[in-house]
Amino acid sequence: MEDHQRGQSSGGSHVSVEIDVTPWAQELRERHEHLTSRLGGGSSTPCPITIGMVEHLTRNVDPQEYDPHHVSIGPYHRTKHPRLAREDEKLLYFHAVRSAATRDDVTEEVLLKEVWLLEDRARSCYADPIQMETKEFVHMLLLDACYVLARFTDIVAAPAVPTAEDDDSDSLQDVKVVRDVLYLAENQIPFFVVAKVHELITGGSGACAVGAFLGYVGELLKNQQYSMATPEVTALSDSDVGNLLHLLHMHLKPTGDGDGPKTIGGGQRVGRWRSATDYHYAGVRFKSLPVRADAAQCILDVKLDSGGGTLLVPCLTLDARTLGLLRNLMEMEQRNPAKGSYLTAYCVFMWQVACTASDVEFLWRRGIIVHSLGNHAEVADYFTNLCKGIVFKLDDPSRNYLLATCESLEKRSRSHPRRWMAWLRRKYFSNPWLTTGLAVAAVVLFCTVVQAVYSFLSYKQGANQKH
């Protein structure tokens, strides 16, 4: 097929130049095939979780919350931070994992070939182009899979790794590894690669790879008092898990969400949560719930009591890692909306309820927020920045599991008698001396009225007797 491009000669006359656009058409076809593959349309097993670089508006708030500090997993930070690739260390972990294989025929060649067969599917899990040749990409996937298996399961004893003089202590290094490998949205590889290596090493014994990680992740969240709810191993398969951050996300779901949230206020728009002190002045009481088996199953179990006047909020323990974890979990939900938006809804709730230092202090006094940061204002600033760049509609019942609670509190806050009582509380009852004075004045007024009534009745009785 021949196409023509019109040009103009120096004399002003038009000339026709024959060009071959076949390479252009081929490039369009290849780009479409790549897009279809990346979106899962060309595969019977689409990627369960898409991994992508955090958007600029979100990352710009605090870039350090999304970058690894000790080890890079996956392609995004491998070239950006070459030192964090830790190739020599990962090779030692790879050798230890391969040596633990239950079959002698599981060689380096077998492992590489099986991971190579997953290359196209693995590339489709990344939202951004991966500028890596096949050999480098497959090597990276295999070494990273062996690294996380050796670090977070009991498939093999961790090998002795020589440390440099400037390396952290073992305990601090473990904390950094947990943060980098489990908490970061960008620093991930698809879980099916880890599952394939686990299957080869264990000889396909029937035990799924996700079961090897559940114990560690569940204990981690219990110790940090984020969640007591560990998914049942029998209810999960390796294909259900997108990556290690997604596995952690599975532990953080509100208890008894049932069929999803139901609005109660006739569809009236709420727009946003009020602050904790505003709710308090409207007569709403706040009560802290401990995260344990007989109370709140996880930090997302926010609910009203049966009377609707007390908001039960699980205790949130804040440290330097908590807010980074919440941000990365929200990033995962933003990129994978089909996996739910529970964490985003919870973070929007905490951001708007604890938006000022006085609100944080109020919640701290009631045991709902426990923090080790400098002061309450610093915590309020963290919450204010928590949801910057996040897209979320609070009034969408399909995305906000707390919408019914928000509507109930809003209805209570708009009640005129309660608003009047709130005004009295702010105007007069905040000062204990004023409160005491008003109480004394009320007693005196009551006594005066009673005395007047008795005087009137006595006078009337005496007049009747005269007649």
**The three-state (H, E, C) secondary structure of 356-384, written as one string:** CHHHHHHHHHCCCEEECCCCHHHHHHHHH
Task: Give the mean model confidence (pLDDT) for residues 133-156.
Answer: 94
Instruction: Give the pLDDT confidence of 256-287 residue by residue, as tens digits.
Output: 754 344 444 455 677 899 999 999 988 899 99
pLDDT of res. 172: 80
Assess whether 376 and 413 both reside in one domain. yes
| pLDDT above 70: residue 126 | yes
- Mean of the per-residue pLDDT values of the chain: 84
Whether residue 47 is contained in a domain is answered as no
Whether residue 38 is contained in a domain is answered as no
Q: Which of 101-115, 208-222, 250-264, 447-461 has the lowest mean pLDDT?
A: 250-264
pLDDT of res. 270: 78
| pLDDT above 70: residue 202 | yes
Assess whether 117 and 225 both reside in one domain. yes
Assess whether 60 and 185 both reside in one domain. yes
Separation CA 43–CA 299 (nearest Å): 37
pLDDT of res. 10: 52
- The pLDDT confidence band at residue 4, using thresholds 50, 70 and 90, is very low
Whether residue 383 is contained in a domain is answered as yes
Higher pLDDT, 149 or 271: 149
pTM of the entire predicted model: 0.81
| pLDDT above 90: residue 168 | no
Whether residue 141 is contained in a domain is answered as yes
pLDDT of res. 155: 86
- The pLDDT confidence band at residue 92, using thresholds 50, 70 and 90, is very high
What's the DSSP call for residue 431?
A: S
pLDDT of res. 259: 39
Task: Give the mean model confidence (pLDDT) for residues 27-49.
Answer: 67
Number of folded domains that form the chain: 4
Higher pLDDT, 307 or 41: 307
Assess whether 154 and 300 both reside in one domain. no
Residue 230 and residue 255 in contact, taking contact as beta carbons nearer than 8 Å: no
pLDDT of res. 401: 95
Neighbouring CB atoms inside 10 A of 369's CB total 25
For residue 259, with 0-12 CB atoms within 10 Å meaning exposed, 13-18 middle and 19 or more buried, which class applies? exposed
Give 65's Cβ-side CA count (13 Å radius): 23
Q: Which residues pair with 43 in a beta bridge?
A: none
pLDDT of res. 192: 96
- The pLDDT confidence band at residue 373, using thresholds 50, 70 and 90, is confident
Higher pLDDT, 436 or 425: 436
Percent above pLDDT 70 for the chain: 82
Assess whether 139 and 163 both reside in one domain. yes
Q: Which range in 313-327, 345-359, 381-395 is most confidently predicted, on average pLDDT?
A: 345-359
List the domain range (segments joined by +) for residue 147.
Answer: 56-250
pLDDT of res. 169: 64
Assess whether 415 and 436 both reside in one domain. no
Closest by CA position to 369, among listed 333, 322, 403? 322
Q: Determine phi and psi for 51, rounding to 5 degrees.
A: -105, 130
Assess whether 176 and 72 both reside in one domain. yes
Alpha-carbon dihedral angle through residues 261, 267, 270, 276, given to the nearest 10 degrees:
-50
Q: Which range in 66-70, 79-83, 265-269 is most confidently predicted, on average pLDDT?
A: 66-70
Assess whether 380 and 439 both reside in one domain. no
| pLDDT above 90: residue 425 | no
Whether residue 158 is contained in a domain is answered as yes
Assess whether 148 and 238 both reside in one domain. yes
Token pair belonging to 393: 């509609």
Whether residue 386 is contained in a domain is answered as yes
Separation CA 338–CA 425 (nearest Å): 45
SS3 405: helix
Task: Give the mean model confidence (pLDDT) for residues 443-453.
Answer: 80
Assess whether 413 and 304 both reside in one domain. yes
Assess whether 398 and 339 both reside in one domain. yes
pLDDT of res. 29: 82
| pLDDT above 90: residue 440 | no
Residue 202 and residue 194 in contact, taking contact as beta carbons nearer than 8 Å: no
- The pLDDT confidence band at residue 170, using thresholds 50, 70 and 90, is low
Whether residue 20 is contained in a domain is answered as yes
Assess whether 413 and 452 both reside in one domain. no
pLDDT of res. 319: 84
pLDDT of res. 28: 83
| pLDDT above 60: residue 7 | no
Whether residue 331 is contained in a domain is answered as yes
